[in-house]
A and B are shown apart, each in its own frame.
Chain A
């Protein structure tokens, strides 16, 4: 192998590695939907995207089935014995708002968003399958009487829901992980899924 061919070979290896690792990094960060895919987003794919977000700890941690909010990517029980309380906002004196304000506190690492609270117990998702979560989401008896249209508004406009993409830093100053689908793609997936009647795949 002459010198030029050798250099070309090394360059190809490096380029291949860099391209490969870039793709891997972006896939880790987000399940990217290309423009073409977005235009031809199937109902099934939209459902998958929606559920990938709903089952992420950023969403799931405040949808417990045991009345105990969870924290972190390991979903440990909220420190200090905090629990749902009578109105999903903690106890009478020590409530969510004792520590959580209307926006993230970057000094203390305490997350915050408007009306910070647990989802009602009827919307507990922890431990449920994707289809069971979807059924609870769509059922007006469990979702607080919301129509499909109201659900779309809730899922694409509610500031507490959208906090998932602005989760701030934790107590150690480390950025919290966001859901595996970008905010923009999540909104498109929600709209697509509901446009098609929000079918729940049988598989």
Chain B
């Protein structure tokens, strides 16, 4: 089966032998984007979280055929060191990771959260950020999520002002 998908802004056309191959393996093994991690393989831990058309999905349990024609964003596509995404900035400020293995999944889930909700309550975080961290960095993570939302609010506010002032 031929699959066309845009990953981190780059268009790919892939010949896939098994259309039920998890998207995770396509991203990691075919596209060599190793930031997205394999954790449980049962859509339970969230280490493999990435975005498909802006929605967070568990890529270990997402057949690649469902991604055909869609936009995929992985942790590598969030942003970069020079211009970090609010989530990346907040994670750096709060030195969130310990071993770090699960963090890309948490960060992608958080990026999806603050794209829809720039003022998440603790309850919103409890409901939506349900990934698993064996190092138990949850306390720092919660602070970083609130900080990421704050940074996103600032960014949106600045964008609005720029538009009002006729700037790009």
Whether the Cβ atoms of A94 and B128 lie closer than 8 Å is yes
Q: Give the bracket for the number of chain B residues in contact with chain A.
A: 20 to 34
Interface SS, B side: mixed
**Does residue A99 face the partner (Cβ distance < 8 Å to B)?**
yes
Nearest chain A CB to B130's CB is how many angstroms away? 4
Nearest chain A CB to B95's CB is how many angstroms away? 24
> Which residue in chain A gives the minimum CB-CB distance to B22?
A107
Whether the Cβ atoms of B44 and A80 lie closer than 8 Å is yes
What residues of A have a CB within 8 angstroms of the CB of B62 in the complex? 101, 105
What residues of B have a CB within 8 angstroms of the CB of A98 in the complex? 43, 55-58
**Does residue A93 face the partner (Cβ distance < 8 Å to B)?**
yes
**Does residue B41 face the partner (Cβ distance < 8 Å to A)?**
yes
A93 contact from B41, B43, B116, Cβ within 8 A = B116
> Which residue in chain B gives the minimum CB-CB distance to A94?
B128
What residues of A have a CB within 8 angstroms of the CB of B57 in the complex? 97-99
What residues of B have a CB within 8 angstroms of the CB of A80 in the complex? 44, 130
Nearest chain B CB to A115's CB is how many angstroms away? 14
B61 contact from A81, A102, A108, Cβ within 8 A = A108
**Does residue B151 face the partner (Cβ distance < 8 Å to A)?**
no
B48-85 interface mask toward A, CB cutoff 8 Å, 1 = contact, 0 = none?
00000001111011110010000000000000000000
**Does residue A133 face the partner (Cβ distance < 8 Å to B)?**
no
**Does residue A91 face the partner (Cβ distance < 8 Å to B)?**
yes
A81 contact from B112, B116, B127, Cβ within 8 A = B127
Whether the Cβ atoms of A81 and B43 lie closer than 8 Å is no
Residues A67-99 near B (CB distance < 8 A): 79-83, 91-95, 97-99
A105 contact from B63, B112, B129, Cβ within 8 A = B63
**Does residue B149 face the partner (Cβ distance < 8 Å to A)?**
no
Nearest chain B CB to A122's CB is how many angstroms away? 22
Q: A79-B44, A107-B41, A110-B42 are in contact. Are A101 and B127 (CB under 8 A)?
A: no
Whether the Cβ atoms of B128 and A108 lie closer than 8 Å is no
Interface residues of chain B, those whose CB is within 8 Å of chain A, are 20, 22, 41-44, 55-58, 60-63, 66, 109, 112-113, 116-117, 124, 126-130
Interface residues of chain A, those whose CB is within 8 Å of chain B, are 79-83, 91-95, 97-99, 101-103, 105-110, 171
- Other than the given A105-B63, A110-B58, 19 more pairs (CB < 8 A) read A80-B130, A82-B130, A91-B127, A92-B113, A92-B117, A93-B109, A93-B117, A93-B129, A94-B128, A94-B130, A97-B57, A98-B43, A98-B55, A98-B57, A101-B62, A101-B66, A105-B43, A108-B42, A108-B58
- Nearest 10 interchain pairs by C-beta: A108-B61, A99-B43, A93-B128, A91-B127, A80-B130, A94-B128, A93-B112, A110-B61, A93-B113, A171-B42
22 contacts between A and B (CB under 8 A): A80-B44, A80-B130, A81-B127, A91-B124, A92-B113, A93-B56, A93-B112, A93-B116, A94-B129, A95-B55, A97-B57, A98-B57, A99-B57, A99-B58, A101-B61, A101-B66, A102-B66, A106-B20, A107-B22, A107-B60, A108-B60, A171-B42
